[in-house]
């Protein structure tokens, strides 16, 4: 017989991590998990694409990871989120803390509102990562600027990531921009995801929302759809040439918002994580349980023929061993 949780069990603390594509949410989350200090933490990861790369990266730090992919957690797969929350709440040994990493095009406030519907959870806060290098470009983008602005506006805490990559005047300007959009939110800076752990573990560290949960739910507007944004994925059992991959992303045949994956590269014995933000490709060794094949996910504004064009260029980037 399955043991049910005690009726008077303390609520599970819920924190939602949001932020636009490539802002550093997974890096931030992995830093928190690396310093969990024995706390029971469950992680729920949403990825817009059909393959959940972020969940794979997070499993390096935690075995209790639930993946929700192939849609936006705040709209098209909201029902699956509610089901996942219910399953976590009904565990005999419940986690102390649930961290939800929303996809880069999700409205994290909407995700938090779904969580508040279940009395088994108590909302700690909505923590939004913001790329210090690309804040102005993202907010000024005609297609995605409104998405990023909504994410920032609903935050209880904002983490300015990649703070070491910008000069002091740009950093100060970014802080002023964030202050103008979300004046009540706490602000932090992070390098490689390092933030004060009290932001996640101290229930008194986060300011209370200016309005109660019920009022927030009544006032909530439906999250707008994501017009023109789509994703596709590619797999390969053959290693890629790194220079050819760089060229692919440099000359990408459509507006590319984000690419990520775990790939095999020629001359590298270990699989590599691959991230592309703002046209810049970055790779690093992956030490977790990698898939047997290379896996790449592309998110952007794609016409119907882009997937076949990219697949052909990826074929050309493969290293073919001839006898």
User: For 115-131, how does the pLDDT look when each residue is reduced to its tens digit (9 = 90+)?
Assistant: 777 889 999 999 999 99
Q: Please determine, for residue 268, whether its predicted confidence score (pLDDT) is greater than 80.
A: yes
Residue 23, in any domain of the structure: yes
The CATH number linked to 67 is 3.40.50.300
Q: What is the pLDDT of residue 323?
A: 40
| Strand order through the sheet with 280-285 | 230-236, 294-300, 256-263, 272-277, 280-285
Q: Pick from 164, 199, 234: which residue ends a domain?
A: 199
Residue 3, in any domain of the structure: no
Residue 109, in any domain of the structure: yes
> Could you tell me if 223 and 179 lie in one domain?
no
164 vs 309: CA distance, rounded Å: 36
Summary mean pLDDT of the chain: 82
Residue 243, in any domain of the structure: yes
Q: What is the pLDDT of residues 51-92, one digit of tens each?
A: 556 556 555 545 567 776 555 444 444 567 778 888 888 888
Q: Pick from 199, 225, 252: which residue ends a domain?
A: 199
Q: Please determine, for residue 8, whether its predicted confidence score (pLDDT) is greater than 90.
A: no
Q: Pick from 199, 233, 251: which residue ends a domain?
A: 199
Max CA-CA distance within the chain?
Answer: 69
Inter-residue contact 43 to 33 (CB < 8 Å): yes
> Could you tell me if 307 and 193 lie in one domain?
no
Mean of the pLDDT values across residues 207-231?
Answer: 51
Q: What is the pLDDT of residues 189-198, one digit of tens each?
A: 999 999 999 8
Range of the domain at 232: 215-317
> By C-alpha distance, which of 190, 115, 103, 193 is closest to 151?
103
H/E stretch holding 62 reads none
Query: Domain count of the chain?
Result: 2
Q: With bands split at pLDDT 50, 70 and 90, how would you rate the model's confidence at 216?
A: very low
How large is the C-alpha radius of gyration of the chain? 20
Q: What angle do CA 93, 96, 97 make, to 5 degrees?
A: 125
Show Cβ contacts of residue 305 under 8 Å, excluding neighbours closer than 6 positions.
Answer: none
Residue 5, in any domain of the structure: no
> Could you tell me if 118 and 180 lie in one domain?
yes
Show Cβ contacts of residue 219 under 8 Å, excluding neighbours closer than 6 positions.
Answer: 211
Q: How many other β-carbons are positioned within 10 Å of the β-carbon of residue 22?
A: 26
CB contact burial 29-55 (16+ within 10 A = b; e otherwise) = bbbbbeebeeeebbbbbbbbbebbbbb
Residue 210, in any domain of the structure: no
Phi, psi torsion values for 247, nearest 5 degrees: -65, -40
Report the range of poorest mean pLDDT among 1-15, 87-101, 149-163, 210-224: 210-224
Residue 221, in any domain of the structure: yes
Q: Please determine, for residue 302, whether its predicted confidence score (pLDDT) is greater than 50.
A: yes
> Could you tell me if 176 and 39 lie in one domain?
yes
Q: What is the reported pTM?
A: 0.77
Mean of the pLDDT values across residues 277-302?
Answer: 85
Range with top average pLDDT, 25-29, 136-140, 218-222 = 136-140
> Could you tell me if 223 and 293 lie in one domain?
yes
Phi, psi torsion values for 105, nearest 5 degrees: -110, 10
Q: What is the pLDDT of residue 135?
A: 97
Q: What is the pLDDT of residue 134?
A: 94
Residue 18, in any domain of the structure: yes
Q: What is the pLDDT of residues 133-167, one digit of tens each?
A: 999 999 999 888 999 999 999 999 999 999 999 99
Q: With bands split at pLDDT 50, 70 and 90, how would you rate the model's confidence at 212?
A: very low
Q: What is the pLDDT of residue 76?
A: 45
Q: What is the pLDDT of residue 7?
A: 56
């Amino acid at each position: 017989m399955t043991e049910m949780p005690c009726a008077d069990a303390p609520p599970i603390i819920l924190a939602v991590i949001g932020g636009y594509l490539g802002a550093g949410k997974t890096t931030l989350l992995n830093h928190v998990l690396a310093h969990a200090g024995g706390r029971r933490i469950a992680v729920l990861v949403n990825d817009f694409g059909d393959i959940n790369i972020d969940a794979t990266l997070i499993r390096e730090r935690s075995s209790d990871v639930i993946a929700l992919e192939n849609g936006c957690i705040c709209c098209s797969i909201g029902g699956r989120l509610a089901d996942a929350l219910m399953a976590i709440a009904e565990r005999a040994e419940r986690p102390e803390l649930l961290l939800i990493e929303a996809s880069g095009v999700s409205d994290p406030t909407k995700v938090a509102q779904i969580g508040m519907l279940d009395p088994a959870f108590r909302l700690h806060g909505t923590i939004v990562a913001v790329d210090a290098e690309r804040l102005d470009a993202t907010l000024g983008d005609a297609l995605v600027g409104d998405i990023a602005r909504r994410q920032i506006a609903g935050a209880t805490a904002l983490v300015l990531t990649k703070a070491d990559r910008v000069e002091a005047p740009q950093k100060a300007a970014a802080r002023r921009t964030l202050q103008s959009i979300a004046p009540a939110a706490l602000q932090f800076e992070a390098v490689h995801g390092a933030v004060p752990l009290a932001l996640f573990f101290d229930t008194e560290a986060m300011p209370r929302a200016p309005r109660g949960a019920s009022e927030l739910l009544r006032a909530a507007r439906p999250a707008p759809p994501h017009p023109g944004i789509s994703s596709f994925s590619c797999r390969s059992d053959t290693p890629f040439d790194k220079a050819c991959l760089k060229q692919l992303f440099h000359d990408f045949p459509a507006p590319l918002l984000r690419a990520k994956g775990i790939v095999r590269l020629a001359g590298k014995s270990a699989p590599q994580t691959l991230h592309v933000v703002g046209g810049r490709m970055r790779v690093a060794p992956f030490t977790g349980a990698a898939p047997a094949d290379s896996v790449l996910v592309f998110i952007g504004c794609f016409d119907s023929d882009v997937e076949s064009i990219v697949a052909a260029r990826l074929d050309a980037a493969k290293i073919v061993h001839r006898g």
